[in-house]
Amino acid sequence: MELLILSYVPSLLCGLHAVRSGRAQTWLWILVIGGPLGATIYVFAVLVPEWMGGRTARNISATARAVLDPERDYRAAKAALEDADTVGGRMRLAQAAAALGRWQEAETAWASCVVGQFADDPVVLLGHANALIELGRFPEALKRLEQLSTQGKENDTAPVALAYARTFEGLGRVKDADAPFKFAAERLPGLEAACRYAAFLARTGRGEDARAALADIERRFAKVNPQLRGIDRPWVDMAAKAVGAR
């Protein structure tokens, strides 16, 4: 009994902080129902950012909120679009749906944005292309990317290169895919592009290059803040599986 009471002390302390900081309505339920787990979530979502400040703390807070309520942004985007049907609202919904892996909904939302002054908007074109890629509609994705590229070299960015690489591979144009994969892997933050490139190298029979790429990925992953590794872990696992390391 004493141990049970002690286990709720962290929740009680977090609850007092929540009340004093005006966060009581949502967090008290989590702390009461979740017990020690709720207190742990509160520490990383609220207290750590307050103690640390800066970009890393904000990333930790955002990650914790995403774990706690992954559909929060989606619900907010959906509600905002119901209040006012605007292109900006559709873009927000498309991004929120994509973050949840709801690619059909994201594609529909992006497609509805390709109108008027937004018909050549780089964010809309790339967003739509990525949704089409996830749905395996590679010829349509290529058309969107080519439409984007006709607007000038300022749109030849690493995210666009990654989209081109995935599209070319999906179309069976393996030689065309290599350069943009490499370009994106060397420039994009995070490990997604590097992991996709390592997997591509493995799929195309370049085992030695793939293993070297994976070793570099694992060195980089070891330097990632432990609280943020959950973001890159699925990509590292995907690359390792493709290379045959797991």
Q: What is the DSSP string of 119-158?
A: TT-HHHHHHHHHHHHHTT-HHHHHHHHHHHHTT-GGG--H
- Percentage helix, strand, coil for the chain under 3-state DSSP, each rounded to 5: 80, 0, 20
What pLDDT is stored for residue 180 in this prediction?
A: 96
Q: Burial-class residue 163 by CB neighbours within 10 Å (0-12, 13-18, 19+).
A: buried
Per-residue pLDDT of the chain (246 residues; tens, 9 = 90+): 444 444 555 666 666 656 555 555 555 556 556 666 666 766 656 655 555 554 555 555 555 555 555 688 889 989 998 888 899 999 999 999 999 999 999 999 999 999 888 999 999 999 999 999 999 999 999 999 999 998 876 667 899 999 999 999 999 999 999 999 999 999 998 899 999 999 999 999 999 999 999 999 999 999 888 867 888 999 999 999 999 876
What pLDDT is stored for residue 138 in this prediction?
A: 98
What pLDDT is stored for residue 26 in this prediction?
A: 57
Report domain extents, the chain: 2-68, 70-133
What pLDDT is stored for residue 47 in this prediction?
A: 58
Measured in degrees and rounded to the nearest 5, phi and psi for residue 228 equal -110, 0
**pTM for the model:** 0.72
What pLDDT is stored for residue 19 in this prediction?
A: 58
What pLDDT is stored for residue 225 in this prediction?
A: 80
For tokens 């591979």, the residue is 169
Four-residue CA torsion sign, 147, 152, 154, 157? positive
Which residues neighbour 140 within 8 Å (Cβ) at sequence distance 6 or greater? 132
What pLDDT is stored for residue 231 in this prediction?
A: 84
